[in-house]
Amino acid sequence: MDVTNNLSQINHTMKQACERSNRERTDVNIIAVTKYVSINRTLEAIEAGVTHIGENRLEGALEKWEACQNQAAFHFIGTLQSKKVKHVIDKYDYFHSLDRLSLAKEMQKRCPEGKKIKCFVQVNVSGEDSKEGLSEEELIDFVVSLKNYPAIEVVGLMTMAPFVEDPENTRPFFQRLRYLRDEVRDKNMSHAPCEHLSMGMSNDYSIAVEEGATFVRIGTQLVGNRE
């Protein structure tokens, strides 16, 4: 496992995906998902040039933040239980799985004075029962309601595509999320600039980039999934 080598391969693949879709490579950010790996591997990723770290569970999230704070931006990418909000709210920079008002309420309550909490609203574009997130039908009303929580800033939408053998089959889900992002963004709500798209993982990130991802979340292909 050589993180530097993995990163340069991923950068190469992303550059090609950007060229195919007429995008600027600098418009896409890589989040290294370190949930399966150690602090040392996380530090290695930062050393290799990674500037965004993603964790999905409280324990790992705190441990990685303690060890690497100030060296990267931190993304909480998993479902966050309301009772755990207080432990990460002042440490993490982005929250990718806002999917209920009760969570927004708790974030508002725990938000440090003057801070804006950058959130992605998670959408279940595939409609699979196993997936978290709002349905497409619920999305707009939900985002509108978030204006009652002034600490929250909706920076974008996030989704997890279904796992499929051929990554090409994820394309319609990414296209759908982009369409929804445009719809929210074009409402010009001051609490919801909604410019970003958090989509694409190890198996499907090049398709996600072609379809407009601005944050891809890559674990296995970048830092591995065990040590």
Instruction: Work out which of 23, 64, 118, 217 binds ligand PLP, going by CB under 6 A.
Output: 217
Instruction: Work out which of 60, 78, 133, 156 binds ligand PLP, going by CB under 6 A.
Output: 78
Instruction: Work out which of 18, 28, 35, 52 binds ligand PLP, going by CB under 6 A.
Output: 35
Contact 64, 55 (CB under 8 A): yes
The distance of closest approach from Cβ of residue 33 to ligand PLP in the complex, given in angstroms and rounded to an integer, is 4
User: Interface with ligand PLP includes 202 (CB under 6 A)?
Assistant: yes
Closer CB to ligand PLP, 36 or 144, in the complex: 36
Closer CB to ligand PLP, 201 or 209, in the complex: 201
CA angle 174, 57, 216 (to 5 degrees): 25
Q: Please state whether beta strands 29-33 and 52-55 pair in parallel, antiparallel, or not at all (unpaired).
A: parallel
**Stretch binding ligand PLP (CB under 6 A), from 8-16, 61-69, 176-184, 211-219:** 211-219
Contacts of 180 (CB under 8 A, 6+ apart): 123, 125, 136, 139, 157
The distance of closest approach from Cβ of residue 45 to ligand PLP in the complex, given in angstroms and rounded to an integer, is 13
Instruction: Work out which of 34, 42, 56, 126 binds ligand PLP, going by CB under 6 A.
Output: 56
DSSP string, 85-102: HHHHTTT-SEEEEE--HH
Structure tokens at 174: 């990414």
